[in-house]
Structure 1
């Protein structure tokens, strides 16, 4: 299909707009030309290579094969094919990305900041929010120009939506419909999308709408609660853990690595997405073009779980009996006088076995708008003015219901009603513990319970339910910018100013309910509790406890119970009873149905407000010429002046008092303490960011590039705004929750990420769809963000009494910087020289190696890399396109990823995610010119992600993802 593009007006103004968008590199044309529009894998690779070849900076690109068709199921899946890009998954779908080993990546929409509801507090969005059908392509900018908006330390991702003037004249319509399914879940999902566009050369409009539903399996096995890994000491320093030589080495100066709970979990994620992209484009005069864009996304996500979990009731610490041991020696810091032992086969003398039910619901919504005017003042001077307004909300709730299968007598969890004391769940297992055999050495962890365990509905009783970590997040963004370009012989001069204001607010809250009892003097006392635990007393010693145990036979009559045997590939065949997590989706409604009078209380330690303002100016010179060989270069400087206003609330102690309708009540059972003060931090700083890029055409088909860029990435709002949170253990001897540690998750005085980046690359374009590329990169990072643990004195237990000699508080701080260096290799070729049907073959291969140090040390004192960093990544894609038939087989490998450093009660160790290998495939066939039927498969080998603690055989947990398949029909006319 041929069309003639009139460059004298439409394309000229479009190119002006593109050239003035930050990060774009588009040359103006002055003549008529013919363009052949083809669609398919080969054409998308052609366009991606053209973008890379013509850019002066280091850029990789993904181009949609056609309207509404990126080459993978999600935006993130497509990005993982790009050299140097690594992704993270949630329920098997790609969500966030790293570039060259680090997550300090900025994401733009059409060259400006994009505000995502899935990651309100950070610059990088959760790509799960973004339907791929709304995009025409994605650029990964690895070396910034002076005009490129600051935000990415290691790279910038620019999402590109379509513009009407890119369409053929007249009307264009396209649509798709698909059904999707997984290898584990039984519920099928769907996707429908529609596109309509009009272009008459002076006025254009388009609208894309995408709606989808997906149900995803995400089983989890192993240590249940993240970061609660323990080093159990033989010396009796833990309550209820007597001094004993567990390891049999003749002393009591050792510790054993374990955790508080182990289990198997059925987890599913249901995601309902809606995306709308609309654009109006108007050529008002020969010299003025107007553009208006809206980009709307909405996602409702329901993460539901049922799990059978054995634990120590957060009370006793001698419950793990190792059946084999490995001595790892003493740690380099912390308890350096103890040897730490690990075990992969052990028995658990479980004080408690719980049938858990959880529901986490997120309602995300964002709207990004762009109003833009492009001006031609003369043959040499052009300009663009833009106003961007965006707002995003993320409202999430968490609802948890724990049912005991054990009685509670094992760990002193009793009820008192009218002065009569009894185990919380007398119809459950007796006072003895439950022996669970655990084996973490196989393909999947296994946990074997006694024969006949928990096979009756009456064996279960709901003893605890609560709703906490509920969050309302909101952000607004306003940007005004002006960009100008003055052309001269062999080059141009660009300049611009940008004003930016962003507000972020976070409100973290819990549901608390009232309970009333008589105090010791016979006076009625009402207290509010978050944890509605059957064994929790209202008002001092001897008082009745706050609630009854809800037996499952009673809850079953209310429609709350279901039976489940599906725990994925590690299923034992046994079935158990659980509260149906769909019942928990309505957090308030469920809590209110059992314990009326619920109200909210703010978790002040995790709530904040932040205002960020910045003024940005840049100047940039672009030059073309010859220095022995042809070259293109740009150099300039960007200056960013940042103002931060951070409002935090100082929280009083938990379980003290709460205020409901202006009246003070005692707070019990984890009720958050009131605000006792506030802290406002005002800061400002200035960044000078010089940048230089040069590209040499050493031969007609070969390029040599060099770049130096100074970059700055703002910290996430959570890094700045979160306050001190305390952790309590149940001390049954004292009848209180004893404070054991703290976490200062935010620090308003931390500095942003800053780095000096160097790039050197070589590219050989040996055919239109073929390239061999090699590159070296080197980052000098000024400061890392690391964690430090220091003792803090005077922190009280839940009853307000200080009983400790100081607790360890882990906080986030700036640490001494370091370097990241690496290499990228890429190869792509279309084998069109082969005869007949073989000419449709092609291949893409790329490899990235990155090496760098972060601020943490591991168990032996070795320096760890930056969190979320992998040293090696490889992509291999075999593709085929011939006479309407298309097929792709893609392989992605990522080496081990550093997660972080848990303290492990004085034994710091490195927590790693093991290497992963994902295989995806797709096939499609075009018939009757306008119709294409397609089949896609992702993770077709059912890869799972496994984490381990310091040593590869010390498995922490596994997230098991399913294979996903989609069958669909695409039309265009």
Structure 2
């Protein structure tokens, strides 16, 4: 297994090390008064202390963790519309065991204990978006709608199945949560320093409850809107390949990058959210409710860039003599190429997502010892995606030089200014993609709880059933590439006519070049260059029409391609569970817990098309395409036992043991029934009279027969709650996972018309080997009330997670095609958080640092094949400061990425760079009013 090399301490580590040492000493000091219990102290008058703000949020989250019968971590927003972090995923990264991925600088996806199979809930119900169909993207959720977030790491039988990594439950507010009327409003502005522009947001909440002759009613409305901006600049090095023809290094095996480029994204995110809730309690024994939540997310992701690259393994690049140098391992440091292909591009992409959740139900206290509840839910989700890219080429004589010796790569083009010359710029190609995804789910559940009030071992018995139907349909064109111009073809058709001089109005100098890398990298990376006009590309219909008509001989499309990749799936699940809660307070070692089993059956139907492309025996020069419908059914039943034990070593010292079996269903993309089979022939394009030569037969597609991933897991935890807002904990965990989904290659037989049964080499997802995930988490949270003023207002949160995996390696190879053993994608072995806090009656300050070591991003990246792409270790510091003017008005100031950290990725080894990425530092100001 590749162990990435250390690249030195992350920036800010000296500060963090000092803070960790100080926090540990202070926390130990805090334990002394927690342990001291004297009769004098017991006789003292108890003073009521009202805790608010950040400390109140942490105290509420700690109470949830302490009182839960299962292992859970929580984040609570006691102040309306104010999670500790602005973004939901970025708030979750503070929890031990949780690691996040970022999209354009903002937290978007989470993994728990190294596994990305995380299920998302909304108020304890399943929720999803059709970007995935199994989970909700945290980008889609306005944080202002949430009252809190819970992370469950080992479930009980009464929890919905589906996440072998864990479950994230998003909680919204309900009107009966408050004692009376609440009115809240907030406005915000955020400066994005790389984008050098501002985004804005606003939210409002109204909640009230009132008594009538018909009982008590409650109503809540919560609205939010935000416009967030971003800019991401990237310097990209193309894959390294072994070469032996480099001047000065002839016959020596050296690793040479096959080109490089730069790219800039300048986009925005618009989020609109609304939550409505209604509660009615006709009497003390019955409550009825109805909730509605909708989240609309528009992600606008335009991009410009330019690349110099070599075809295949870079062998087409002609080295420039006396320009090359290499490190001691033979990796490229500097080098140049004569007349490599250059391609600039302008891309305009937009994704619109909308997820709406409706729910209604009741809780009825049938009698003192029996409670019955029921819930009906309907989720509807839609996602549309539109993407248009225009490519331009350069024909002038030029040389391209790479320099990888600095903190970031430099790409130089000679002669200077050649890329901003109007002569030699050609409209080269275009690409489009369109997709429409829809999904809906109906779920009904009923639960019955019987409490035993007899003082025995058994405290309650709970049983319930749940039934769901889910339908997913995705329609996608895939990326459709079309040439606009190029060299003359064998049949004499000329495609080399779409030049700049003929259509000057459709190209401009890249508008983002001057400010690239905050202006520091503008001239040392390519310099000014032409791209197809972003204004033209922003109107997709116009862009397709204009580019498609530049050269009528090209046959390029003038409208979006047909969405002919259609994946239709239906899924039904039915579950029944039984669970016993037990405990003995008067045992020598008091304990409580629950023991249960959940049995769930799943029925899946996948519909698709098998497409066979072949050549008839009597006319081998003509491709014939034959399509036939496919419907595949699959059913399986899993029994999922669970046990949660809690021993009370002292009143405030708990020892937990948890064991369970869980499952995660495969993604709908992997379950697709669509399949393509092709006979592959090699044609001589220069001479159409030459008979094609049969090479092999291949196929690819989804696998509707995939089994679910299952996990046998156990946790044991020691938790010490030495004050209402202070705790220490340590947790060991172990997961044995079966049926990992991998890309597999196998032989299968299919009949070809007129040729009988043939063997095809199939590439498709398959269930692979089992694996093991294990590790530990340690953490503390403390406010130092024992210190003299003003230091008694200091607080700290700190946690560390170690995760080790022995799991099937993703398909990965080195630059020579040799297999590599790599960790699970997205898994960092080491990660930690350190949060320093200070809070008075009016002021609250927080400094938070999050760090994780290197991890595999992908082994199937665009342009990198099966080379493993690693993200280097990454640490980020965020800060916030708030002030309460009075009980009504408050202001907060926050900075995300305070130290302006950049991201670095590499190709298998740190001395073979891939991406250097610069994102915004976000500086926000918010005003709130609570009435």
Q: What is the CA–CA distance in structure 1 between the aligned matches of 2:234 and 2:193, rounded to whole Å?
A: 16
Q: What is the CA–CA distance in structure 2 between the aligned matches of 1:820 and 1:724, rounded to whole Å?
A: 33
Residue number among 270, 286, 289 corresponding to 2:287 in the alignment: 289
Q: Is the 8 A contact 1:381 1:487 kept in 2?
A: yes
Would the alpha carbon gap of residues 460 and 536 (structure 1) be closer, same or farther in structure 2, given more than 3 Å must change? closer
Q: Is the 8 A contact 1:777 1:823 kept in 2?
A: yes
Residue number among 682, 691, 703 corresponding to 2:642 in the alignment: 691
| 1:649 alignment counterpart | 609
| 1:534 alignment counterpart | 485
| 1:90 alignment counterpart | 103
Residue number among 434, 451, 458 corresponding to 2:422 in the alignment: 458
| 2:436 alignment counterpart | 472
- Of the structure 1 ranges 712-721 and 833-842, higher mean CA displacement relative to structure 2 is found in 833-842
| 1:591 alignment counterpart | 544
Give the CA RMSD over aligned residues.
3.6
The aligned runs of 1:142-291 (5 Å cut-off) are 142-169=153-180, 171-200=181-210, 202-223=216-237, 229=239, 231=241, 248=249, 250=251, 256=255, 258-259=257-258, 261-291=259-289
| 2:901 alignment counterpart | 943
The reply on whether 1:617 has 2:576 as its aligned counterpart is yes
| 2:711 alignment counterpart | 755
CA deviation after TM superposition for structure 1 residue 44, in Å: 0.3
Would the alpha carbon gap of residues 732 and 50 (structure 1) be closer, same or farther in structure 2, given more than 3 Å must change? farther
The aligned runs of 1:441-456 (5 Å cut-off) are 441-454=405-418, 456=420
The reply on whether 1:129 has 2:129 as its aligned counterpart is no
| 1:720 alignment counterpart | 671
Partner-residue secondary structure (3-state), 1:61: strand
Q: Is the 8 A contact 1:356 1:578 kept in 2?
A: yes
CA deviation after TM superposition for structure 1 residue 883, in Å: 2.1
Q: What is the CA–CA distance in structure 2 between the aligned matches of 1:40 and 1:729, rounded to whole Å?
A: 69
Q: Is the 8 A contact 1:690 1:709 kept in 2?
A: yes
| 2:13 alignment counterpart | none
Q: Is the 8 A contact 1:853 1:863 kept in 2?
A: no
Q: Is the 8 A contact 1:358 1:399 kept in 2?
A: yes
CA deviation after TM superposition for structure 1 residue 806, in Å: 12
Would the alpha carbon gap of residues 902 and 77 (structure 1) be closer, same or farther in structure 2, given more than 3 Å must change? closer
The reply on whether 1:854 has 2:807 as its aligned counterpart is yes
| 1:50 alignment counterpart | 63
Residue number among 284, 288, 303 corresponding to 1:305 in the alignment: 303
| 1:880 alignment counterpart | 838
Q: Is the 8 A contact 2:861 2:869 kept in 1?
A: no
CA deviation after TM superposition for structure 1 residue 733, in Å: 7.0
Would the alpha carbon gap of residues 40 and 167 (structure 1) be closer, same or farther in structure 2, given more than 3 Å must change? same
Q: What is the CA–CA distance in structure 2 between the aligned matches of 1:614 and 1:702, rounded to whole Å?
A: 40
Would the alpha carbon gap of residues 233 and 472 (structure 1) be closer, same or farther in structure 2, given more than 3 Å must change? farther
- Of the structure 1 ranges 373-382 and 466-475, higher mean CA displacement relative to structure 2 is found in 466-475
Q: Is the 8 A contact 2:391 2:428 kept in 1?
A: yes
Would the alpha carbon gap of residues 639 and 735 (structure 1) be closer, same or farther in structure 2, given more than 3 Å must change? farther
CA deviation after TM superposition for structure 1 residue 855, in Å: 1.5
| 1:678 alignment counterpart | 629
Q: Is the 8 A contact 2:473 2:567 kept in 1?
A: yes
Would the alpha carbon gap of residues 436 and 644 (structure 1) be closer, same or farther in structure 2, given more than 3 Å must change? same
Q: What is the CA–CA distance in structure 1 between the aligned matches of 2:742 and 2:220, rounded to whole Å?
A: 47
Q: Is the 8 A contact 1:843 1:879 kept in 2?
A: yes
The reply on whether 1:911 has 2:880 as its aligned counterpart is no
Q: Is the 8 A contact 2:434 2:561 kept in 1?
A: no
The aligned runs of 1:351-500 (5 Å cut-off) are 351-404=340-393, 406-407=394-395, 429=396, 432=397, 434-454=398-418, 456=420, 458-459=422-423, 461-489=425-453, 490=455, 491-500=459-468
The reply on whether 1:549 has 2:498 as its aligned counterpart is yes
Q: What is the CA–CA distance in structure 1 between the aligned matches of 2:730 and 2:100, rounded to whole Å?
A: 22
| 2:735 alignment counterpart | 779
Q: What is the CA–CA distance in structure 1 between the aligned matches of 2:866 and 2:507, rounded to whole Å?
A: 47
CA deviation after TM superposition for structure 1 residue 127, in Å: 0.5
Q: Is the 8 A contact 1:131 1:210 kept in 2?
A: yes
Q: Is the 8 A contact 1:70 1:78 kept in 2?
A: yes
Would the alpha carbon gap of residues 315 and 265 (structure 1) be closer, same or farther in structure 2, given more than 3 Å must change? same
Q: Deviations over 1:446-493 (max 9, x none)?
A: 111114334545146352343433211111111011111111135111
Q: Is the 8 A contact 2:613 2:626 kept in 1?
A: no
Q: Deviations over 1:740-773 (max 9, x none)?
A: 9989463222222111010000011111111110
Q: What is the CA–CA distance in structure 2 between the aligned matches of 1:466 and 1:164, rounded to whole Å?
A: 53
CA deviation after TM superposition for structure 1 residue 864, in Å: 2.5
CA deviation after TM superposition for structure 1 residue 37, in Å: 6.6
Would the alpha carbon gap of residues 904 and 233 (structure 1) be closer, same or farther in structure 2, given more than 3 Å must change? farther
Partner-residue secondary structure (3-state), 1:43: helix
Residue number among 139, 155, 159 corresponding to 2:150 in the alignment: 139
Would the alpha carbon gap of residues 74 and 905 (structure 1) be closer, same or farther in structure 2, given more than 3 Å must change? closer
| TM-score where L is the length of structure 2 | 0.84
Q: Is the 8 A contact 1:106 1:155 kept in 2?
A: yes
Q: Is the 8 A contact 1:552 1:561 kept in 2?
A: no
Structure 2: segments with no counterpart, 5+ residues: 1-46, 550-556, 753-757
Q: Is the 8 A contact 1:457 1:553 kept in 2?
A: no
Partner-residue secondary structure (3-state), 1:52: helix
Partner-residue secondary structure (3-state), 1:124: coil
Residue number among 814, 831, 834 corresponding to 2:767 in the alignment: 814
Would the alpha carbon gap of residues 591 and 265 (structure 1) be closer, same or farther in structure 2, given more than 3 Å must change? same
Residue number among 454, 461, 472 corresponding to 1:504 in the alignment: 472
Q: What is the CA–CA distance in structure 2 between the aligned matches of 1:349 and 1:784, rounded to whole Å?
A: 46
Would the alpha carbon gap of residues 959 and 610 (structure 1) be closer, same or farther in structure 2, given more than 3 Å must change? farther
CA deviation after TM superposition for structure 1 residue 559, in Å: 8.7
| 2:35 alignment counterpart | none
Q: Deviations over 1:910-940 (max 9, x none)?
A: 3211110011000011103211111111012
- Of the structure 1 ranges 884-893 and 450-459, higher mean CA displacement relative to structure 2 is found in 450-459
The reply on whether 1:970 has 2:923 as its aligned counterpart is no
Q: Deviations over 1:335-385 (max 9, x none)?
A: xxxxxx643433233432122111111011110111111112111111111
Q: What is the CA–CA distance in structure 1 between the aligned matches of 2:797 and 2:200, rounded to whole Å?
A: 30
Q: Deviations over 1:296-341 (max 9, x none)?
A: 001111111111211236697331748245697xxxxxxxxxxxx6
The number of equivalent residue pairs is: 844
The reply on whether 1:346 has 2:335 as its aligned counterpart is yes
Q: Is the 8 A contact 2:800 2:831 kept in 1?
A: yes
- Of the structure 1 ranges 373-382 and 128-137, higher mean CA displacement relative to structure 2 is found in 373-382
Residue number among 826, 829, 852 corresponding to 2:782 in the alignment: 829
Q: What is the CA–CA distance in structure 1 between the aligned matches of 2:632 and 2:248, rounded to whole Å?
A: 50
Would the alpha carbon gap of residues 794 and 721 (structure 1) be closer, same or farther in structure 2, given more than 3 Å must change? closer
Structure 1: segments with no counterpart, 5+ residues: 1-33, 235-243, 329-340, 408-428, 513-529, 657-665, 797-804
| 2:32 alignment counterpart | none
Q: What is the CA–CA distance in structure 2 between the aligned matches of 1:467 and 1:218, rounded to whole Å?
A: 22
Q: What is the CA–CA distance in structure 2 between the aligned matches of 1:563 and 1:955, rounded to whole Å?
A: 23
Partner-residue secondary structure (3-state), 1:367: strand
